[in-house]
Amino acid sequence: MKLKFTKMQGLGNDFVVIDGISQSVSLSLEQVRLLADRHFGIGCDQVLLVEKAIGDADFRYRIFNADGGEVEQCGNGARCFVRYVHEHGIIHKNEIRVETLSGLITPRLEANGEVSVNMGVPRFEPSEIPFVAEARALSYLLDIEDRQIEASVISMGNPHAVRIIQNIEQAPVRSEGALIECHPRFPKRVNVGYMQIINRNYIKLRVYERGAGETLACGTGACAAVVAGISQNLLEANVTVSTRGGELLIRWDGDNQPVWMTGPAVTVFQGEISL
């Protein structure tokens, strides 16, 4: 099967984007892993599939981690998605409605070239994450090897554990993140964010992503970290999130309000691969 693809990135979180509308695409777990492989394939953190909507939205947006697993949501990918369908002339309106496994999101191309996305309402009930816990709490203690660590647990459609740390450069992102990702209290595994609060409108964040490892940026991780900080009265409604790949603007007005994310989306190159 020959597949046309477009390589894109949002703050260094990189994607192979495939048009599943003009091409008939059916990807096995092994084929996704090959596309994502940085030595034997194209290389990316996630593979994004553009499909016709099932309902009355404009598109369906399918997301596969580098390990081949299909997941519910991807924030940086959503910005690249709207850039992709515009650049390929598939649609011309600036705000689009996109179905994901976790519900509808509305990415919007801004006049200044950035992209804003309504990422939906965060969820906190353990059963909605999913997370094994007696009751909902602002943070939880997890047994990791010979110690206990504290984390907030939030869903942005996909599951996130958020740790508050004092020094982002010394955060045990890969060693501890890998242990939390597969912790038995997360039946579907979890993305693990390490947040250093600089002030009430500025944080630094690193994320060990489920199914991809540490990435240069994680859009849903930025949303989850800001929600965790605001929920604990540590942050204001508008927060700049500094990631290793650059800055995201996140806004959340609390309670049942949606989280808004604004940031860049860049096309790197196009190509064709034989699978």
Q: Is there a binding annotation on residue 87? A: no
Q: Is 74 a catalytic residue?
A: yes
The window from 131-139, 171-179, 211-219, 251-259 that contacts ligand API (CB under 6 A) reads 211-219
Minimum CB–partner distance for residue 64 and ligand API (Å): 9
DSSP state of 237: S
Q: Which of residues 46, 100, 106, 231 is near ligand API by CB under 6 A?
A: 46
The window from 49-57, 73-81, 106-114, 129-137 that contacts ligand API (CB under 6 A) reads 73-81
Minimum CB–partner distance for residue 44 and ligand API (Å): 10
Would you list the DSSP string of 132-166? --SS--S-EEEEETTEEEEEEEEESSSEEEEEE-S
CA triple 259-138-118, angle to 5 deg: 5
Q: Is there a binding annotation on residue 112? A: no
Query: Is residue 83 at the binding interface for ligand API, with CB under 6 A as the rule?
Result: no
205 vs 218 by CB, closer to ligand API: 218
Yes or no: say if 177 and 192 are a contact pair by the CB < 8 Å rule. yes
User: What is the widest separation between alpha-carbon atoms in the chain?
Assistant: 55
Minimum CB–partner distance for residue 224 and ligand API (Å): 9
Q: Which of residues 14, 19, 176, 209 is near ligand API by CB under 6 A?
A: 209
* Active-site residue, from 44, 74, 80, 223: 74
Yes or no: say if 54 and 18 are a contact pair by the CB < 8 Å rule. no
Q: Which of residues 33, 123, 204, 210 is near ligand API by CB under 6 A?
A: 210
State which of positions 97-136 bind ligand API (CB under 6 A). Answer: none
96: Cα within 13 Å, side-chain hemisphere: 26
Pairing label, strands 98-100, 59-65: parallel
Q: Three-state SS for 18?
A: strand
Would you list the DSSP string of 74-124? -HHHHHHHHHHHHHTTS---SB--EEETTEEEEEEE-TTS-EEEE----B-
Task: Please count the residues of this chain forming the interface with ligand API, following the rule CB under 6 A.
Answer: 20
Query: Is residue 71 at the binding interface for ligand API, with CB under 6 A as the rule?
Result: yes
Query: Is residue 75 at the binding interface for ligand API, with CB under 6 A as the rule?
Result: yes
- What are φ and ψ of residue 175, in 5° steps? -75, -55
Query: Is residue 155 at the binding interface for ligand API, with CB under 6 A as the rule?
Result: no
Q: Which residue has the tokens 């006049």?
A: 111
Q: Is 182 a catalytic residue?
A: no
Binding mask 2-41 for ligand API (x = CB under 6 A): -----------x----------------------------
Pairing label, strands 46-52, 13-19: parallel
Q: Three-state SS for 2?
A: strand
List contacts with ligand API (CB under 6 A): 13, 45-46, 63, 65, 71, 74-77, 158, 191, 209-212, 215, 218-220
Query: Residues within the annotated binding site for substrate?
Result: 13, 46, 65, 75-76, 158, 191, 209-210, 219-220
